[in-house]
Amino acid sequence: MAKTARILDVLDVQPAFTDSDIVQLNERFAGADTVNVIRAAFDENLLGKTAIVSSFGAESAILLHLIGAIEPNIPVLFLDTGKHFPETLSYRDALVAQLGLTNLINLTPSSEILQAKDATGLRWSYDPDGCCAIRKVQPLEKALVGFDSTITGRKGFQSKTRAGLALFERDNGRIKFNPLAGWTKEKLDAYVVMHELPPHPLVSSGYPSIGCAPCTSKVLPGEDPRSGRWRGWEKVECGIHTPVTMLGDPSIEPVF
Ligand code: SF4
């Protein structure tokens, strides 16, 4: 894998990671310490040109702290949809400064597309899939041209649709690296305390998962942490991630 990535670096072409690459990575790092996996990923150039995709949500500080301690100059892609809570934008700026991250990239939707497809700004209320497509999926796809992989903060325990999340996934020829895939809520909480990471200001108000303001509601005790997202709709993911159906077996196509 490392050899493949380096050869492709020299050739300056987009690597198409294969199912076999993903299987090998998941087998190699099964049960490994998270910091060691991250170090190996960077030391051996397993990810090629990579970026963190962060929502600056409830638990985003953990991944940003883990990666930032090793690669503070890594691009951090934030989907600035125009619909975030003001608290999220303030938290983003404070966290970037505190962690010494030097390459925050705010991805905004195309103004032409917004004018054509969401002139009222209310598309979320009648077509959330379409709204996410123009405010999240399209800006991210455009930004990822030239990247070989992304790093996400998703966890398997967050919802039924993320149960079984693999450490490495195949994502349209790119690697999607999920260092926190196997972390529990208790482990996350302990990490936050140990490193004195600031919480998102809305967590204490009953929001364990935070996305855009119109599509995020409070969560009751006993509910999935992500059950407050798009409440009342069948929708469970914004489209930049698909529900986990592979259970670590990348030979099975994910359902879109
Ligand atoms: S989460 Fe809601 S407001 Fe944000 S892009 Fe998706 S549908 Fe639109």
pLDDT in tens, 42-90: 999 999 999 999 999 999 999 999 999 999 999 999 999 999 999 999 9
Active site residue 212: no
Q: Quick: pLDDT tens for 160-189.
A: 777 789 999 998 889 999 999 999 999 999
Give 191 Cα–ligand 1 centroid separation in angstroms. 30
Whether 10 has a pLDDT exceeding 90, the answer reads no
Q: Are 148 and 47 in contact (CB under 8 A)?
A: yes
Helix (H, G, I), strand (E, B) or coil at 126: helix
Inter-residue contact 236 to 132 (CB < 8 Å): no
Stated pTM of the model: 0.86
102 C-alpha to center of ligand 1: Å? 27
CA–CA gap between residue 76 and residue 41 (Å, rounded): 17
Task: Yes or no: say if 208 and 58 are a contact pair by the CB < 8 Å rule.
Answer: yes
Q: Helices in the chain by DSSP H: which ranges?
A: 2-11, 19-28, 34-43, 60-68, 86-99, 111-117, 123-126, 128-132, 138-143, 185-194
For ligand 1, residues with CB inside 6 Å are: 81, 83, 124, 128, 131-132, 135-136, 211-212, 214-215, 238
